[in-house]
Amino acid sequence: MCGISFSLSSSKPTSSTQETCTLLQKRGPDSYKTYTAQKDISAQDGVSPPLSYYLTFTSTVLSLRGDHVYTQPLVDLTTQSVLCWNGEAWKIDGERVQGNDTERVFNLFLQAVDSDQNDSVERMAEAIASLSGPFAFVFYDAIKSRLFYSRDCLGRRSLLQGFDENGNLKICSICDSASMDCFKEVGTEGVCTIDLARYQDPSISPRELCQIETLPWSSAASPPAGHIVCPSFLLPGAATDERPKRKSIPPMNTSLPTEQPPALTTDSVFVEQLESKLRQSLELRIQNVPVPPGYIAGQTAKTAVLFSGGLDCTLLARLSHDILPLDEPIDLLNVAFENPRVAAAAKANQQKSPSSPPPLSIYENCPDRITGRSAHVELQATCPGRTWRFIAIDIPYAETLAHRDQVKRLMRPHNTEMDMSIACALYFASRGQGTAQTDPSAQLPTPDTPSPIYTTSSRVLLSGLGADELFAGYGRHSVAFNRGGFKDLIAEIDLDVSRLGSRNLGRDDRVLSHWGRETRFPFLDEEFVAWVLRAPVWKKCGFGLPETEATAGIDSEKLALRLVALRLGLVKVSREKKRAIQFGARTAKMETGRSRGTDALS
C-alpha cells in the first residue's frame, strides 16, 4: 500500500499541501520521497522563447512485499522515466510474482516504452493489461514525454485527478485540496495517457492543454466526458474491434435454464470448486506476509479480518485457518458504536419495564457484536489449536464526533450521510484498537473490570466485499427474482457487477488505509470473479431451486457460499442474514431527524 501524489506545472514545481503529505504518510509510513523532473522544450523544437514544464512525483510506502523497503518514486537512471506504484501485482501474464512487485512492474513498463520501439503506447497498454491485482499508478515515459496513469478495472485502489486554482494538473491518492469539487475519481474504463509534447506554448496552462486519452479495456463502457479514445490503442495488425487480452469485467453468463435446475448441496461440483477457487485467491493474499513492526511470534498477528460475524468475513477467517501456520494468531476486528438515538430508545424501554433484566451494554447489543461473538465461538470450535483474538472495538459517540472531520476529509469527493455512516465504521475498524479476547467463554469486561487496550499488529486486513454482488446477496436480488424470475435476477446481478469499479471501493481505500494497513479483497480477485461470472446463476444462489434437508431454513441469497460454510463446519454462520455495516455497527442515523442516506453533508 502506498500513497501517490503527482503534479504537472508549466511555471514551477508544485508540491502537495502539507496536510495531504501528512495523510499520504499515514497510508505509507515506511518511506517518503519526492522527485521532480524538468522537461525543457528549446528553440530547436520550434518553441521560442524556450519552455520548461515540471513533473513532481511523491510516494509514500507501506512495505508488504519483498525483504526490504523499496523506496519510491522509482527513477530509471538511463532514461529518467519515473514510476509511482500503489498496488499488488499478484500475477504478471498469469505467472505468480514472488517477492517485491514494484521493481517488476517498473521494468515491465520500461521495456514497453523502450526507445527503439515505435509502438510504445500499444506496448504499454499490453503491459498494463498483463497485471493481475489491485493497483493505481502514475508512470512517466521520459523518452516519449508521455504520462500514463490508471486504476485497476475494479477500482480497488484510490486515485483522484483534478486541477488546482492555478490550472496545474494533480493526480493523488486522496483529495489534494480543501474543495472536493476540484477532484474526481480516475475512471476504471481503461488507462489514461497525456502526450506532454503538446506543451509548446508558455502562455497556456496545463489545464487548457491537457487532452487526456483513454486507452479502454476491451469490454469497457464509453470513456468519461472530456476523455477521448486513443485510436492507436489497437494492436498492430489487429482487427478494428480487437482489444488487449485484459477485460474490464468479463461478460456474465446470461443463460436461462430450460428445465428445473437441480438442488445445490454441499457435495455439488460447483460448491466444491468454489471452495477451492476461493482458497486459491486467499492464498495469494495471506501467504508470505512480512513480519510487521512490533510482531511477537505466536502472540501477535500478521493477518486480521474485518469481522462482523457474517457469512463472507467468517468464511475468509475459516479458510485462512487452513492456509496459515497453526501457531500464527488471527485477529478478528469487530466494531460497535454508541448510537445516541438507539441508546435513548433502549433507556426509554427499560424505564417502561423496570423489572426486565438489564440490557446488554450499548456495544454488546449491536447486531454485528452479537453475530461476531457467536461466529468467534464457532471458529474456536471448528478450528481448535488456533488463537482467534476477538478485538471488540467500542466507539463512544464523543469519539465519533472527534474524528468526523478527518473521516469526511478522507472520503472526499464522496459526501453523503450514507458515505459517512459506512466510512466511520471502516475507519475505526481498520484502526484495530479495542479490548482483546481469545477465550469466547471468558467473562466480558465490565466498567469495574476493564481489559487493557490492544491494537492489532497486522498490516493486512481481509474484507468480504464483493460476495454480495457476485452471489446475489442483497435483498433486491430476491425482489428481482420474484418480479421476473431468472431473467430479472441475472439483469440485477449483472448491473451490480458491472458497476463495481465505479462505486465505492476508492472511498473505502482512502478510509481503510489511513492507519497504515492494506485491505485485501479475495472475492474480487480477477480470476475468481471471471470464474464466478461464467457459471449459470442457479449455481450461485438458491432462487427457484428445490429445497433439500441440508438447505432447509437457509436463505437463497449466496446459497453456494452458505454451503461452503456448511462444508467447513460453520453451521450457524451459514444461516446468518445479510446486514449492511452501517446498521450492524450502528453508525446509521446517529441523530434524530429526517435525514436520508443520499443527503449531502453540510
Following DSSP, what letter does each residue of 174-239 receive, concatenated? S--SS-GGGEEEPPSSEEEEEEGGG---TTS-HHHH---EEEE-TT--PPPTT-EE-GGGSPTT--
Q: How many CA atoms lie within 13 A of 264 on its CB side?
A: 30
Contact status, residue 428 vs residue 511, Cβ threshold 8 Å: no
- Work out whether strand 303-306 and strand 460-462 pair parallel, antiparallel, or are unpaired: parallel
On the CB side of 383, how many CA atoms lie within 13 Å of its CA? 30
Residue with cell 462505486: 503
Element (H, E) at 125: helix 120-129
- Output DSSP code: residue 91: E
Distance CA 343, CA 403 (A): 20
Count the Cβ atoms, other than its own, within 10 Å of residue 386. 20
Taking a C-beta distance cutoff of 8 angstroms, is the pair 100, 93 a contact? Answer: no
Cα separation of 493 and 485, whole Å? 13
User: 560-572: string of b/e by CB count within 10 Å (b at 16+)?
Assistant: bbbbbbbbbebee
- Residues facing residue 59 across a β-bridge: 4, 33
| Cell matching residue 319 | 479458510
Beta bridge partners of 90: none
Contacts of 122 (CB under 8 A, 6+ apart): 232, 233, 234, 235, 236
210 is catalytic: no
| Catalytic choice (2, 153, 383, 424) | 2
Report yes or no: 438 and 379 within 8 Å, Cβ to Cβ. no
| CA separation for the pair 210, 365 (Å, rounded) | 54
Q: In this structure, how many other beta carbons lie within 10 angstroms of the beta carbon of residue 460?
A: 20
What is the residue-wise DSSP string for 510-572? HHHGGGS-EEE-GGG-HHHHHHHHHS-GGGTS-TTPPP-TTTTT--STTHHHHHHHHHTT-TT
For 588, the grid coordinates are: 446509521
250: preceding bond cis by omega (within 30 degrees): no
- Helix %, strand %, coil % of the chain (to 5): 35, 20, 45
Radius of gyration of the chain (CA): 25
Cβ partners under 8 Å of residue 587, min gap 6: 337, 339, 400, 420, 421, 422, 424, 425, 581
| Catalytic residue list | 2
